[in-house]
Amino acid sequence: MRTLWATVLLVSASAHADFVGTGPDYDAEADVSETCSVCHSLRYLDRAQGYDTADEWSRVIASMVSLPAARDRAISTYLAANYRHKPSKAPTLIEGDTNIVIDEWLTPSLGQRTRDPIEAPDGDIWWTGMWASLVGRLDPTTGAMQEFLLPSAARPHSIVPDRDGFIWYTGNSNATIGKLDPATGEIIEYPTQARDPHTAVFHPNGNLYFTSQHSNMLGRLNPTTGEVTEIDTRRKPYGIKVGQDNDLFVAFNGTNAIGRMNPESLAVTYYEIPDEKTRIRRLDIDSDGHVWFVNSSLGKIGKLDVNTGTVEQWDSPSGPLSHPYSMTVINDIIWYNESGMRPDALVRFDPATERFQSWAVPSGVGIIRHTWETREGDLLIHQSSSNRVGRVRIAD
Ligand code: HEC
């Protein structure tokens, strides 16, 4: 175990792109290859569901980059001709009796990879824009939004609020956990031994516990002393939640296991989950203390009895390639998404009846990566492609 200490920073500047116009030599294919690869590989164009009309492509692009009208039209027309709609990506949506209302907000900085919304103690919704290295605040009653730029190397993966309303982020690219004071913009960075802090959760004992996927580490940060303690673990620890008996449960995205960590000693025991091909991104806990998880690689959801280690699994409605991703249990109803489908599908599963119900996310260009239950029992969602933060109000 190693101990590291914090440094204090202040917020800094942003970036913008330069654009050229169309002309006689204009080449839409070259423009796509140049403009669209600024943020991501062109393989993303294949991952999408594809669209047959320029208008649909234009709507998708508009959440990533702002282009002059002529280039927007030229690029969208080119994409509509070359990246056509793939019906095979459509989710199998299941009807049911539950009514929900989904509100979505487009976040200000385009292409920021909006993700992992949370609710702060004052009711504001916060998100992180990983690629723009920022966190944002949304007042859901007025729709007003404000973005806070973090150190540009931080590229925060997830955020979590503490009881006092400070926003803690995992500096996924600069080996830090950061604490933002929303009132002053001041940031304190706590260095970690792991190079890629990933997902964090506060424990009732006041400490922050976090996973580091590619470093294969789990850590604890004591906010009072600033002490960071980390341990090695199995491959790709991902989601993390506090269980009913105060142990922490950890999802593994690099092996078929769920870990159980003692908050004091950081000792981990493992539950083996059936099938070597199982990969679990996220999990949550029901009112009996059992763990529900997404089996992302096999297109299932599952329940782990934490006392006996028994596992029960159900096929997700859209099948083996549906790639369930996020998960939140609200009043013992399981909410997750099928991130392999386009539009991204939000799924409800009732363990009592074993029935599924599902909906297309309105701006469903993908992907919900993390969800959060508000104090009113609503579900916060997002779309990392179309830059949306969303709230699902559940009527039942
Ligand atoms: C400023 C950054 C940025 C630029 C520039 C950008 N994108 Fe994206 N794009 C994103 C982000 C963020 C995602 C989501 C990535 C993720 O979730 O991993 C994304 C995802 C996508 C996807 C995948 C959607 C899906 O269904 O999975 C497509 C298609 C796409 N972009 C098309 C384009 C095109 C076409 C252009 C050029 C006109 C472009 N992007 C330019 C940020 C950008």
Q: Which two tokens stand for residue 286?
A: 């029901």
Mutate to test the pocket of ligand 1, among 16, 18, 37, 39 (most ligand atoms within 8 A of CB): 39
- List pLDDT tens digits, range 68-108: 999 999 999 999 999 999 999 999 999 999 999 999 999 99
> What residue ranges line ligand 1, CB within 6 angstroms?
32, 35-36, 38-40, 44-45, 47-48, 61, 64-65, 75, 79, 110-111, 113, 131, 342, 365-367, 384-385
Q: How confident is the model at residue 47 (pLDDT cuts 50, 70, 90)?
A: confident
Q: Is the pLDDT of residue 62 over 80?
A: yes
Q: Is the pLDDT of residue 6 over 90?
A: no
Write the residue with the smallest CA distance to atom 39 of ligand 1: 36
The fraction of the chain above a pLDDT of 70, given in percent, is 94
**What own/partner pairs with CB < 8 Å and gap ≥ 24 does 298-304 have?**
299/323, 299/324, 299/340, 300/324, 301/327, 301/334, 301/336, 301/349, 302/273, 303/351, 304/258, 304/271, 304/273
What are the angstrom distances between the C-alpha of 186 and each of 135, 140, 198, 200, 352? Answer: 13, 24, 22, 20, 47
CA distance 226 to 191: 10
CA 387 to ligand 1: nearest atom = 12
CA distance 139 to 275: 44
